[in-house]
Chains A and B, each alone.
Chain A
Amino acid sequence: QSALTQPRSVSGSPGQSVTISCTGTSSDVGAYSYVSWYQQNPGKAPKLMIYDVNKRPSGVPDRFSGSKSGNTASLIISGLQAEDEADYYCCSYAGSYVFATGTKVIVL
């Protein structure tokens, strides 16, 4: 499996919405609903934000949501807050786990 592709960075002002794309192939992202998203603050451990494309673990704010269309999964952050500035990684499972390259979310 090849690494999934994400934009290097996305930015938005507080209160706006940002969308992070995660592009794979018809063999991974496109084939299954097995995509998760992780938030990582500098020097910290990652945290699970979304799993199974669009499910939120307990405690994750509902401004975080996920979706998928074809070979691309997306993480949407609505009502952007300063504390959302972090790196975000998507992960797909298709017999093995593969992570994407990561996206830095910048809050302007």
Chain B
Amino acid sequence: QVQLVESGGGVVQPGKSLRISCAASGFRFNTFAMHWVRQAPGKGLEWVAFISYDGSKKYYADSVKGRFTVSRDHSKSTVYLQMNSLTAEDTAVYYCARDFIAAVVNWFDPWGQGTLVTVSS
């Protein structure tokens, strides 16, 4: 079955960088786009980034544009989120989600269990 396992979260100081990963299995990784969605503690969901199936298209939320970079490695069936210049507002559980293909706009399903990133001095 489809599995998405995030890793790499932890505590990082403001202004520093962190890279988190999402290892995929149970499906043909190189045929699906992927998303990152985050959830601050006790708050709602926020879409963060999208990467197309072949890595040629990448889109970001305005809140992370210029600071975060999404990438993927097909040899490892893994998608990454490189996060730079982190602030306290980036503290959240970060979920990766597979692209759910609909008629026009795609959605998010399934999701991984998430990895917690805490930005604190």
Q: Which residues in A have some Cβ–Cβ distance to B below 8 Å? A: 3, 32, 34, 36, 38, 44-48, 51-52, 55, 57, 89, 91, 93, 96-102
Contacts and interface: CB of A to CB of B under 8 A. Distances in A.
B113 A45 contact: yes
B46 A99 contact: yes
Interface in B34-80: 37, 44-47, 59, 61-62
B61 A3 contact: no
B27 interface: no
B29 interface: no
Given A45-B95, A46-B95, A99 B47 contact: yes
Contacts of B110: 45, 47-48
A48 B113 contact: no
A14 B105 CA distance: 34
Interface of B: 37, 44-47, 59, 61-62, 95, 100, 102-105, 107-114
Contact of A3 (B44, B107, B108): B44
From DSSP, what is the main secondary structure of chain A's interface residues? strand
Which 3 A-B pairs rank lowest in CB-CB distance, beginning with the nearest?
A48-B109, A97-B47, A45-B111
Given A45-B95, A45-B113, A91 B44 contact: no
Contacts, number: 59
A38 B112 CA distance: 14
Nearest to B112: A45
Given A48-B107, A51-B107, A55-B102, 19 more contacts: A34-B105, A36-B108, A38-B45, A44-B113, A45-B111, A46-B37, A46-B108, A48-B108, A48-B109, A52-B103, A57-B100, A57-B109, A89-B45, A91-B45, A91-B47, A96-B47, A96-B62, A98-B47, A99-B46
Contacts of A91: 45, 47, 107-108
A99 B103 contact: no
B91 to A, nearest CB: 17
A51 B107 CA distance: 7
Contacts of B109: 47-48, 57
Find the residue from A91, A97, A98 having the highest chain B CB count within 10 A: A97
